[in-house]
Amino acid sequence: MDSKTSETHSTANSPGVDPDVRFECVGCGACCRGRFVPLTLSEAVTWLKRGDPVGVLLEAFDDSLWPVDSPEYAYNAGRSAPVTGGSGTLRVTVILAANAIPECPNLRPNGLCSVYLERPLVCRIYPMEISPFIELKPEAKDCPPESWQQGSLLASDQGLAMLVQQSRQTDRDDARRKVAVCESLGLTVAGWKGNGLVIHQPSVETLLAACESAEVNAGPAAQAWQIKAEDPALREYLHAQSVPLADSPSDDYIFHPIPR
């Protein structure tokens, strides 16, 4: 099934946004603190050129999570790339994420953004959800109540909808090149989707050089990948699928389990 066609279909059937939900940024800066900020490949280059670090968050999956003809599989397959790592098809999703912990390096003392006109796409989209399978819930956001009591109706904001589609398309366009970045740096340990993320933290200079190279030279994935998993049942499943496991602890990455 064509991933782009399926993703469009899934978007039409996504949870969407409550038609009565309004939003207006009140400049509290809450969304600029205590998080990783997903970046496109070109945004990562810009971020790194400012001298600010970018983490590499990795997750992998196979066709056991969703039927291969489902909208969920099409969406996730579109923003990932196939890699070597078992007897079946293993796909890796790479998230290049700016470090905004404890706060974004571009946040001014007055709560304003110092790179507002060049801010990342995800910042322009916030508080909208990019995934078509996640419902926008104001109570799940960091924005204060007054943000949701004024402003425009999010469901009817066509400009915002176009930015969401642009973000999804860029995820698809960047998928192969981001895997190439990881392989060029030997970052080939990933978490299992829904179970955990593996976070690599290369130096600014090292990651910048790899990202700039991948912009023009992204060959097919070739290196053997490993999965970091601590759940016994998941490890048993992956072993049965001949997926290589990263067994020993490592100082090269952080494993961040996802609560269930």
Can you tell me which residue has the tokens 């960047």?
174
pTM of the model: 0.90
Model pLDDT for residues 201-226, shown as the tens digit of each residue:
999 999 999 999 886 555 665 678 99
Model pLDDT for residues 220-235, shown as the tens digit of each residue:
656 789 999 999 999 9
Read off the pLDDT band of 250 (50, 70, 90).
confident
Helices within 85-144 (DSSP H only): 121-125
The yes-or-no verdict on residue 119 having pLDDT over 80 is yes
Give the pLDDT confidence score for residue 221 in this predicted structure.
59
The yes-or-no verdict on residue 2 having pLDDT over 50 is no
Q: Percent of the chain, pLDDT > 70?
A: 90
Q: Helix (H, G, I), strand (E, B), or coil: what is residue 36? A: strand
Half-sphere exposure (CA, 13 Å, Cβ side) for 145?
0
Q: What is the average per-residue pLDDT within 229-245?
A: 92
Chain mean pLDDT for the chain:
89
Helices within 13-98 (DSSP H only): 41-49, 71-78
CA distance 98 to 200: 12
Model pLDDT for residues 65-100, shown as the tens digit of each residue:
899 999 999 999 999 999 988 766 799 999 999 999
Residues in Cβ contact with 206 at an 8 Å cutoff, skipping those fewer than 6 apart = 185
